[in-house]
Amino acid sequence: MTALRRIQKELSDISKKPIEGITVDAEEDNLFMWKCAVKGTSNSPYRNGTFRFVLELPQNFPFKPPNVTFTTKIYHPGINDEGQICVPILRGDEWKPSITLSTVLAVIQEKVNNPSPDDPFEPEIAALMKTDKATFLATARDHTKKYAM
């Protein structure tokens, strides 16, 4: 099975060359399901937080993108209440089989730690970020303390 071989190779690559600030734990009996976590960096409103998410690989991976769902609540313009993250490379029309899961994880890490009000999943949070950044930052830090520490 192509998908399983590719997933095993990607897991091996990630364990040999881990991404700082990201943990990956594939389920032993189901390599299509990864439990991951991203740490907030010191220069982000999410610093000291650990945000858990599930990376679910489709049976026809790498021809279809993984599905990513955050299980840790996060106050972020690019991640909605259901835990879905707005990342272009994860959309079907932008996904390419050559994209590695290391790249996906790095993009998720970048998105989490560098929130942007552009192309938001949560328009109200994005609007607050544009109009009252101090309140946005305080709320993001508060949510991080409450849910991610």
Exposure class string for 37-49: b at 16+ Cβ within 10 A, else e: bbbbbeebbbeeb
CB 144 within 8 A of CB 115: no
86 is catalytic: yes
Active-site pick, 22, 86, 99, 106: 86
Instruction: Give CA–CA dist 65/76, Å, rounded.
Output: 22
Instruction: Give CA–CA dist 48/141, Å, rounded.
Output: 10
Q: In the numeric block, which tokens belong to residue 63?
A: 């021809």
Q: In the numeric block, which tokens belong to residue 67?
A: 């599905």
Which are the catalytic amino acids?
Answer: 86
